[in-house]
Structure 1
Amino acid sequence: MNNTRDGFNSRIGFVLAAAGSAIGLGNIWGFPTQAANHGGGAFLMVYLLVLFLLALPAMFTEMYIGHTAQANPVKALGKACGEKSALLGKTAGIIGLFGAIGMLSFYSIVAGWMVSHSLAPLAELAGQTQAKQWLNTNSLDRNLFFTPIFILLTAAIIIKGVSQGIEKWSRRLMPLLLVMLISLIIYIAMQEGAAEGIRAYLIPDFSNITDPKLIISAMGQAFFSLSIGVGGMMVYGSYLKKEENLVKLSISVAALDTVIAVLAGLLIIPALFVAQHQGIEVYNNGALIGEGQLIFGILPQLFNQMGEIGIFVGFAFFFLLSIAALTSTISSTEVPVAYIVESKFMDRRKATLLVSLVVLVASMTIIFNFNTLFGFVINVVTNYHLPIMGLFYFIVVGWLWKRGNVLFENQTKTIKLLAYYIKFVCPIMLTAVFLNIVSA
């Protein structure tokens, strides 16, 4: 096997790819809804605080393991745990692979919905009313059609490798996502009712600042928005050159992810108030209507009431969500692909097709047992797998990793403080997040 390992050619390529991994559908619809239902600007303040205190160190820790080992998550965790606990590390790495497959199994279905809804306005523009209705209606045949398409779209990028696939397309997709997001924000801000939405989103309601639900929601959103626990950040970190400054890169990724999340709020919340201004119900029992109904029910109604311009706005919005979904599925797919290529010595093309086939089978299983499995798989992955794996990463770096753990070896005072923060404070905080989420 060739010992030359593919990797990122530039810092900006890595930042865009890693931020793309973190920026997903949860940022575009989950973050704004959480903010709207938990005090607007007050939620933003707590979110930013938690992001700095917990989510950023967690992302750094995951990247650090991969970067130091220069290997896939299974091998990297095996090395980090040392000879006595190598089996534990490798086992955790394997569990991480299954977590990535689980994430992809439901995420590919939802991503297919985004592609379908982005095509619906084009069908309307072409006068294909029946096609538009089919594209906008959740059905078995629609899921069977679009889920494989999205899986193949992801595979087409992964097959090309890190520099020519992941980095190249991240450099294209992320700027496009940002431009489309800002353009939609400007357009929605010009509509009647948008100003009220902007005020509701940005002006803090400090009466909610001590609400436990706000704190738990902010902690969960900050942690999960950075895509920590699947292994994507670990495998991306392994593709960086050894001399790169992980602390600065971690801050850059977290900053870009946060900017996108905050901008998404400036799009979604004002859009909902515009819809409310036009007579569309957006609140249910005092709370903003849930994400699914919000995205696939309320906003399409708003686009329909905009006339011809609504066709283009609707297309741009769902195309934006499709890009966000794609940048996330790329990183999750790379986790098992990297393991198979490096540990089983399989050609990248064959490894990508194999992983894609496994994801397709898993997705089809969910589709044919949708009511039973869809919510269950999402709950297991997001509420259990991600926080447990994140906690394990803290324990590995802080407690199990003895030799080669340079965080604890003759470093500057700042790095040593970070090391001990990861060792003592982060595990306690993340355990608290996990227990609160489970008991909620």
Structure 2
Amino acid sequence: LHKLGDLKVWINALSQAAWSTGAGWGLLLTYAVYSRKKENPILTSATLGFGDYFASLLAAVTIIPTVFSFFSGQNLAQEKVLEVMKTDNVGLTFIWIPNLFSKIPSGSFFLALFFLALCFAAFSSLISQLELIARIFMDCGLTRKKAVFIVGISCFALGLPSAISLGFFNNQDWVWGMGLIVSGAFFIFLVLKTGPKKFREEIISTSETRFKLGKGFDFLVKFILPIQLIAMLGWWFWDSYSNDPGNWYKIFSQSTLGTVLFQWTVAIVVFLGFNKIISKKLSKKNEN
């Protein structure tokens, strides 16, 4: 229970939630495009969030006790078992899980099913991610076929270095794991700029929605979420700096504060410029 007082635990949980629910990616925008007018965004969001958390919890209570039981039976010290559990997702998924399946009857068959399910899960997530970007190009006037082709080739090219180099992959995981939280901050800013009350009454809790948000939503967006965001990011910046104060500014290192700030800055500048171009094209399109 003492771990609940560790901000790093909350940071990791928040970045994981931002990733797995698609909230940090903006994937809900993709789903919203195809939702019906009478769709209830409150119920849908709640179902998505709780469903994701339940699936993660179910996976944890299934895998972690199994791994502990298996390695404890191999006469490994508890410290060694804890080291195994502390390995990143790559090590746990591609090293220890196969090792675990190799020790059970018909393990090869179940291991193949495991990776097949993992492949389908990744592919289903990829569809919505590609659609999110392709939708933007389609709004600019491109056909779906051209938009999907451009996005698919671009994502393949940008993702290739991570597939080839584990070091590059870890760098991108380090940078954009927290970047998803910053991405979520832009959505908070959007609601604040629109006005929490106006956003709640005219966009979310319309006359056609069955479940409605109360005034607590306004307080949450105005105060709680910004304070939480500033506190957690501020602590993370300080923790990243204090862990390596002599090299924090190095932008080409794998896991320094400097590389995070550099890549975030480049991405924000590029996307803001791209956003201006798209806005101008859409304005001209609407005028015509």
Pairing 1:349–2:145 present? yes
- Structure 2 residue corresponding to 1:326, chosen from 95, 107, 123: 123
- Asked if the contact 1:394/1:422 (under 8 Å) is kept, the reply is yes
Shift of 1:324: 2.1
- Structure 2 residue corresponding to 1:416, chosen from 186, 202, 215: 215
- Asked if the contact 2:134/2:151 (under 8 Å) is kept, the reply is yes
- Asked if the contact 2:133/2:151 (under 8 Å) is kept, the reply is yes
- Root-mean-square deviation (CA), in Å? 2.9
Show the counterpart of 2:226. 427
When normalised by structure 2's length, the TM-score is 0.69
Distance 1:255 1:289 in 2: 25
Structure 1 227/434 Cα, relative in aligned 2: closer, same or farther at 3 Å?
farther
Pairing 1:363–2:159 present? yes
Specify the SS of the correspondent of 2:65.
helix
Show the counterpart of 1:407. 200
- Asked if the contact 2:102/2:108 (under 8 Å) is kept, the reply is yes
Show the counterpart of 2:242. none
Shift of 1:349: 2.0
Name the amino acid aligned to 1:350.
Answer: K
Pairing 1:378–2:173 present? yes
- Asked if the contact 1:283/1:289 (under 8 Å) is kept, the reply is no
1:178-327 residue pairs with structure 2 within 5 A? 206-279=1-74, 283-284=79-80, 286-287=82-83, 288-290=85-87, 291-307=89-105, 309-327=106-124
Shift of 1:247: 0.9
Show the counterpart of 2:267. none
Distance 1:209 1:388 in 2: 23
What is the number of residues matched between the two proteins? Answer: 230
- Asked if the contact 2:15/2:177 (under 8 Å) is kept, the reply is no
When normalised by structure 1's length, the TM-score is 0.47
Unaligned 5+ segments in structure 1 are 1-205
Name the amino acid aligned to 1:401.
Answer: T
Shift of 1:338: 0.6
Name the amino acid aligned to 1:322.
Answer: C
Distance 2:22 2:196 in 1: 28
Structure 1 248/366 Cα, relative in aligned 2: closer, same or farther at 3 Å?
closer
Unaligned 5+ segments in structure 2 are 207-211, 240-288
Show the counterpart of 1:22. none
**What does the per-residue CA deviation read over 1:105-157, in whole Å, with 9 as the maximum and x for residues that have no partner?**
xxxxxxxxxxxxxxxxxxxxxxxxxxxxxxxxxxxxxxxxxxxxxxxxxxxxx
Distance 1:219 1:364 in 2: 27
Name the amino acid aligned to 1:295.
Answer: T
1:40-51 residue pairs with structure 2 within 5 A? none
Name the amino acid aligned to 2:51.
Answer: L
**What does the per-residue CA deviation read over 1:236-282, in whole Å, with 9 as the maximum and x for residues that have no partner?**
12221223221111111112111211111122112202321441758
Distance 1:367 1:226 in 2: 23
Show the counterpart of 1:118. none
- Asked if the contact 2:22/2:28 (under 8 Å) is kept, the reply is yes
Distance 1:261 1:278 in 2: 26
Structure 1 301/250 Cα, relative in aligned 2: closer, same or farther at 3 Å?
same
- Asked if the contact 2:191/2:199 (under 8 Å) is kept, the reply is no
Specify the SS of the correspondent of 1:415.
coil
Name the amino acid aligned to 2:191.
Answer: V
Shift of 1:409: 5.9
Specify the SS of the correspondent of 1:305.
coil
Distance 1:214 1:366 in 2: 25
Shift of 1:228: 1.9
Structure 1 265/365 Cα, relative in aligned 2: closer, same or farther at 3 Å?
closer
Structure 1 332/395 Cα, relative in aligned 2: closer, same or farther at 3 Å?
same
Percent identity over the alignment? 25
Distance 2:72 2:228 in 1: 41
